[in-house]
Amino acid sequence: MYTEALSIAEYADSEDISVPTGTLEKLYANRAAAYLNIVPGLHDEALVDCEKALQLNEGNHRALYRKARALKEMGRYKEAYEAVAKCSLAVPQDPNVIRLTQDLAKMLGLKIRKAYVRSKVRVCLTDHDKPMGMALGMPDVTPLPAIVDLAKNPLADTHEFKQACSNCYVKTVLDFTLYTEEHKCKKDILLGRIKNQLDKSWKLIRPRPTKSQYVGPYYICKDVAIGEGCRYPGHCTFAYCQEEIDVWSLERKGFICRDFLFDPFGPTSKINLTVPKILQEHHGIFMFLCGVCFDHKPRIISKTNKDNPSLCSHPVTKHAFEDQKCLVHILRENTVRYSKIRPYSPQNQMDICRHEVRYGCLREDECFYAHSLIELKVWMMQHQLGKLLSPIKGRFGPPNLKMQFVCGQCWRNGQVSEADKNKKYCTAKARHSWSKDKRVVLVSSIERKKWTTIRPLPTKKPIPSQFEICMHVSTGKKCQYIGNCTFAHSTEERDLWTYMKENNIPDMEQLYEHWLQSQKPGWSEEASNSTIKENGKQIHMPTDYAEEVAGNHCWLCGKNCNSDRQWQQHITSEKHREKVFNSEDDQNCWQYRFPTGTFRVCERYLKGTCTEEELCKLAHGNEELKEWTERREFLLMKLAKARKDHLIAPNDNDFGKYSFLLKDIK
């Protein structure tokens, strides 16, 4: 019947009668399915029809899937894998696509070493027993207890690990080769492989990318998945093999210590999780804020009061700061993100709360699971050390560097003079002005233990992905460049520039602000008695003594609002409403269309007579209806969390395409 329909379409074309491209595309794809279901299957004919359907629409996932099936039966496994890899991007949770991907990956392991990597498949986890972000096809990991013993390797039953160095694990033309000759191995590279696999080669497991706060599952690099080299070596944040996905997923959640994998069963292995190591991975700073204001609905960010440090800076209700303070991790990226670090207790579960990750945990502080990666790491550290986290002072900046700001004029004269209590003058007898153009930053590394001046971050655009040492300085000579050299003149300068770049600190003034807050939380240059130079004299402005405004903070958008009017404008904006219901990680969890609001299966679709296709208001099958129901419950949870946190106006019931949430299912 499909053949007859295509013949009619061909005849119509000869009579200048236009047949919709979408109809032709479906006819070819459906006839290909018929060819495959005939016993024995007509695989050549099916492949031809799939190619014709893909010429009309290269994104037709049904044609891609059937093309992969045909190629598989014809023994063309690599081409089949490439086709099903494209298909898995469109329908990441289709069980048939997942099964075909895994079968092809196993078959390719006999011929192509690299192409046996599993496809990028998104998984929406529904329980706490499985590590979040684990790709399908990973060997089962034994469920972990509430308090994880890092002295045990949870991958020991399914994986093997080995130490190597750049001298014994060498890149060849096509792949890496492990040489076993005797040599003085540095053992600074981690290798791994999955047990009981046909591919016995060792895979390089790179350090986990930590520049982003991404909490979803890790994916295989698209270039590597099709057997090619990565276009962004050294900067790619995707995994290169399944072993990397397995290690990264557990490492991010605190179930595995990378250092311990080098010697999984060594009796003398010791894990040292410290505050500098946590900040090196997650960036930002720790600070104490008023806990009452932070837990207020909506959230209010208030520090210590300038006039009375024992109280918070709330303009009306000033709470006792020491009694109500809470530890918060502050990360400044495109927006400001505040992550509360709740006190650790033995009842805490060493895992991330799946509700908090997806739509916000309604239990809040009563939840036993961690609500952020940084909170999980702090809990792990407290569990290991058996102590609570104290205020972090003097540890701002790269963990291997000590930092201080001194008077530039005194430093040129061989003296080290810091600022006085009021931050107006230096402590030297000359009383030099303490202004941004008169102070310099000094750093000292653990290795050199010598104070070195750091120049401002280069303003060259775009900022390089990584800073290099000046070639003149690296050879022990003086820099010959006329002007501002954009290369670092010391390893300390390179490390600090890199830290500033990764934490979005554009200049020395902001660096000083962050450093000052780390020395005395709640104190900043803006909030202190800052001065303004006018005609060479220092004058005070009325705003220098103004109390810092503690306004409402939207944790969804990372926006602070200093007035009720500004807050109302923000929470009623379209951009904020979309943020309430949507996030960049949500779309990859769903396979079918967005719910239309009518939760019934289309009878015409079941009979094969529905012509509205994507425009149909009814569900096309029980699977789509099931997903619509799950998606509605998911969005209702997000709406409930937003209402509880006062991120939605009380009388606001107009949510555009999400308004169906307020109606009962008929």
- Whether the upstream peptide bond of residue 595 has omega within 30° of 0, thus cis, is no
Distance separating alpha carbons of residues 253 and 474, to the nearest angstrom: 39
Q: Which of 231, 172, 235 is nearest to 206 (CA)?
A: 235
**Which DSSP category does 608 fall into?**
T
pLDDT at 67 (0 to 100): 93
pLDDT category at 318 given cuts 50, 70, 90 is confident
Output the average pLDDT for the chain: 75
Question: pLDDT tens for residues 464-509?
Answer: 767 888 888 888 888 888 778 888 888 888 888 888 887 778 788 8
pLDDT at 381 (0 to 100): 83
pLDDT at 179 (0 to 100): 67
Model confidence at 620: pLDDT above 80: yes
Residue 192, token pair as written in the block: 């791994």
Model confidence at 122: pLDDT above 90: no
Which one of 99-108, 612-621, 646-655 scores highest in mean pLDDT? 612-621
pLDDT at 108 (0 to 100): 65
Distance separating alpha carbons of residues 25 and 54, to the nearest angstrom: 8
Give the E-state strand segments of 408-549 in sequence order.
Answer: 439-445, 452-453, 532-534, 537-539
Question: pLDDT tens for residues 338-380?
Answer: 889 998 887 788 777 877 766 778 788 888 888 888 888 888 8
Residue 569, token pair as written in the block: 């404008």
Residue 191, token pair as written in the block: 């290798």
pLDDT at 331 (0 to 100): 83
Distance separating alpha carbons of residues 256 and 247, to the nearest angstrom: 7
Average pLDDT over residues 516-533: 48
pLDDT at 136 (0 to 100): 32
Distance separating alpha carbons of residues 620 and 594, to the nearest angstrom: 12
pLDDT category at 113 given cuts 50, 70, 90 is very low
**Which DSSP category does 419 fall into?**
B
Distance separating alpha carbons of residues 396 and 388, to the nearest angstrom: 19
Model confidence at 325: pLDDT above 80: yes
Burial 283-318 (b: 16+ CB within 10 A, else e): bbbbbbbbbbbbebeebbbbbbbbeeeebbbbeeeb
Fold annotation for 1-108: 1.25.40
Model confidence at 544: pLDDT above 90: no
Distance separating alpha carbons of residues 74 and 60, to the nearest angstrom: 21
Which one of 39-43, 267-271, 428-432, 562-566 scores highest in mean pLDDT? 428-432
Q: Which amino acid is at 628?
A: W
Model confidence at 251: pLDDT above 70: yes
How many CA atoms lie less than 13 Å away from 439 in the CB half-sphere? 23
Question: pLDDT tens for residues 382-437?
Answer: 877 765 444 444 456 777 788 889 998 898 888 888 888 778 888 888 888 888 88
Question: pLDDT tens for residues 252-272?
Answer: 765 666 665 654 444 344 456
Return the domain boundaries, the chain.
1-108, 401-517, 573-661
pLDDT category at 542 given cuts 50, 70, 90 is very low
Average pLDDT over residues 56-82: 88
Residue 234, token pair as written in the block: 């050294």
> What are the beta bridge partners of residue 552?
300, 561
Model confidence at 541: pLDDT above 50: no
Average pLDDT over residues 452-471: 80
**Which DSSP category does 557 fall into?**
T
Model confidence at 606: pLDDT above 80: yes
Model confidence at 47: pLDDT above 90: yes
**Collapsing DSSP states into helix, strand and coil, what is residue 107?**
helix
Average pLDDT over residues 555-565: 81
When mean pLDDT is compared across 40-49, 84-93, 139-148, 228-237, the lowest value belongs to 139-148
Q: Are strands 299-300 and 325-332 parallel, antiparallel or unpaired?
A: unpaired
Q: Regarding predicted confidence, which is higher, 541 or 369?
A: 369
